[in-house]
Amino acid sequence: MTEATDIRRNPGGLPGELIMWVLIVSELAVFGAALLIFLVLRLGDPQGFADSQAQLHRLSAGINTMVLVSSGFAAALAARAAETGTAGARRAVRRLLAVAILLGGVFLLLKGVEYADAARRGLGLEAHVFFTFYWLLTLFHAAHVLAGMVILSIVSIRANADAVEASAQFWHMVDLVWVILFPVIYLL
Amino acid sequence: MKRLSWSDPLVRAWVALMALSLAATAVAILRPQSPAWAGTVAGAVILGFAWLKARIILNRYLGLADVPGARRGFGAGLGAFALAALVLYALGQAG
């Protein structure tokens, strides 16, 4: 049996939980629409947006991106290990989920440092429309990271294959949202 | 647990994601301020990398590599987003 056929599938052929795919599409639509509105508003004040963006720590955000995709890697390995269902695999799943959670914590720690620095410099919600979007979108994303860490922690207790796969799907959604948010807010 | 190796699609996906993240950050930091078209080219490269990263996460982490219809649908949707973002960014650069 191939690896692909080991994965539980929905009638539409999608792997994992169908409801998670509904959530993934919804989240991409919400964040995608907000980012396009952000870019439309930028047309009215490109210099103001560029000056505001220059206040952010691009390198720190780039490092955080690598931290988050590495966390996603650990979660993907955990979901694959959980499929085997053996006692040894369960220990490996717990270790991999712990790595994913730890890296999620590192992501939030770096974000916390970034937020504290922005607040200290008076770059709050009302400093510029750029920062209104910056705070709302990145805080909303950070809330997802925190929720994902809680979900991964709960799931790691029993390390049931279906639950691990669903929680890993949530974690990858958090990854996915960040990889479209990061370039628009920090890099463009 | 399966031993990790370069032939493992998950390992290759992770390495690609790390490299693309690093490259996008480097392009943003090192891009020239002028002329305006250089900024637009850098923007296109950055958004292209983001599109690739999203495709890798969907295909390898989320398992869409084995579901061609959904893979194409997500790829087209994300491509449309990246293109719209690039047009808006380029208009801002020109203005």
Q: What pLDDT is attached to residue A30?
A: 97
Positions of chain B with pLDDT under 70: 1-2, 95
Kindly report the number of other CB atoms within 10 A of residue B45's CB atom.
Answer: 17
For chain A, report the end-to-end CA distance as a whole number of angstroms: 45
- For A49, residues 6+ apart whose C-beta sits below 8 A from its C-beta are A41, A42, A128, A130, B92
Alpha helix positions (H), B1-95: 9-30, 36-56, 68-94
When CB atoms are compared, the residue of A46, A66, A175 closest to B22 is A66
Q: Is residue B3 part of a domain?
A: no
Judging contacts by C-beta atoms under 8 Å, the chain A residues touching residue B8 are: none
Chain B residues near residue A35 by CB distance under 8 angstroms = 81, 85
Q: Looking at residues A137-156, what average pLDDT do you find? A: 97
Q: How far is B34 from chain A (nearest CA, A)?
A: 13
Residue B74 lies in a domain: yes
* pLDDT band (50, 70, 90) for residue A4: very low
Whether B53 is in a domain gets the answer yes
Residues A146 and A182 sit within 8 Å (Cβ to Cβ):
no
CATH value at residue A48: 1.20.120.80
CB distance from A28 to chain B under 8 Å?
yes
B24 to chain A, any CB pair closer than 8 A? The answer is yes
Please indicate, yes or no, if residue A115 is contained in any of the structural domains: yes
> Do residues B27 and A105 touch, judged by C-beta distance below 8 A?
no
Determine whether the interchain pair A89/B1 forms a contact, defined as Cβ–Cβ distance below 8 Å.
yes
Cβ–Cβ gap B85/A58 under 8 Å: no
Q: From A178, A71, A176, select the one nearest B58 (Cα to Cα).
A: A176
On whether the CB atoms of residues B81 and A184 are closer than 8 A, the answer is no
Beta pairing partners, A9 = A15
Q: Is residue B70 part of a domain?
A: yes
CB contact under 8 A, B25 and A62: yes
CB contact under 8 A, B50 and A179: yes
Count of the separate structural domains present in chain B: 1
User: Which structural domain, as residue segments, surrounds residue B73?
Assistant: 9-94
Tally of domains in chain A: 1
B29 vs A15, A59, A176: nearest CB: A59
For a pLDDT cut of 70, what percent of chain A falls above it?
94
Is B59 in CB contact (< 8 Å) with chain A? no
In a domain, A142, yes or no: yes
DSSP string for chain A = --HHHHS-B-TTS-BS-HHHHHHHHHHHHHHHHHHHHHHHHHHH-HHHHHHHHTTS-HHHHHHHHHHHHHHHHHHHHHHHHHTT--HHHHHHHHHHHHHHHHHHHHHHHHHHHHHHHHHHTT--TTS-HHHHHHHHHHHHHHHHHHHHHHHHHHHHHH--HHHHHHHHHHHHHHHHHHHHHHIIIII-
Q: What is the count of residue pairs from A and B with beta carbons less than 8 Å apart?
A: 132
Q: Which class for A106: exposed (0-12), middle (13-18), buried (19 or more C-beta within 10 A)? A: middle
Q: Which residues of B touch A48 (CB under 8 A)?
A: none
Phi-psi region of B11 (alpha: psi -120 to 50; beta: other; left: phi over 0): alpha
pLDDT tens string A93-131: 999 999 999 999 999 999 999 999 999 999 999 999 999
- Cα separation, B47 vs A102, whole angstroms: 29
Whole-number pLDDT of residue A122: 94
CA nearest to B56 within chain A: A176
A126–chain B nearest CA distance, Å: 22
The pLDDT, as a whole number, for residue B1 is 63
Q: Please state, rounded to an integer, the average pLDDT across all residues of chain A.
A: 92
Give me the percent of chain B exceeding a pLDDT of 70: 97
Q: How far is CA A46 from CA A53, A58, A124, A133, A185, in A?
A: 10, 18, 19, 15, 13
Residue A149 pLDDT: 98
A89 falls in which pLDDT band (50, 70, 90)?
confident
DSSP state of B59: I
Mean pLDDT of A160-180: 95
Contacts of A183 in chain B (CB under 8 A): 24, 28, 46-47, 49-50
Touching B: A residues 37-96, CB under 8 Å: 39-40, 42-43, 46, 49, 58-59, 61-62, 65-66, 69-70, 72-73, 75-77, 80-81, 84, 88-89, 92
